Amino acid sequence: MQILAFTPSPEIIKLELSPENEDVVSVANLSRKSLQYEFKPDIGLIREFLGKATGKLPAQFHYHCWIFQDQVPSFVHYEGPLQLMGPILRIGLVSPRLASMPEDKKNSFT
């Protein structure tokens, strides 16, 4: 997958998606499975090293998203910054909701 990043000039960056965990999601009285993905921008080893060394990139440079594992995949929850070095935000739906909220797990974004 690729994204368009608005660095000083627009740039296409490869985004690595890796499945992490399977979680249970509650929809009314039903339980359904969702898959947690880790999104990691691939900006190159040299840029990543220099960015972390100069403090322009966080030590843990990745984001998390939960997607339903149905015939039609759909969004459940997102956890991460909306901008580089921004605060960690949680974006979720009123329903469905994750059975165990992400705050139960250690947050490695800071």
Q: Is residue 8 part of a domain?
A: no
Q: What is the pLDDT along the chain (110 residues), one digit of tens a residue?
A: 888 887 788 889 898 889 998 988 887 777 888 899 998 888 888 988 898 899 888 777 788 899 888 778 888 889 988 887 788 889 988 776 676 665 555 544 44
Quick one: pLDDT at residue 81?
A: 84
Query: What range does the domain containing 22 cover?
Result: 14-104
Q: For residue 80, what are the contacts with CB-CB under 8 A and spacing of at least 6?
A: 39, 62, 63, 64, 65, 88, 89, 109
- 22 part of a folded domain: yes
Domain total of the chain:
1
Identify which of 47, 37, 34, 41 has the alpha carbon closest to the alpha carbon of residue 1. Answer: 41
What is the per-residue pLDDT for 109? 45
pLDDT reported for residue 110: 40
Whether residue 7 is contained in a domain is answered as: no
Give pTM, 2 decimals: 0.68
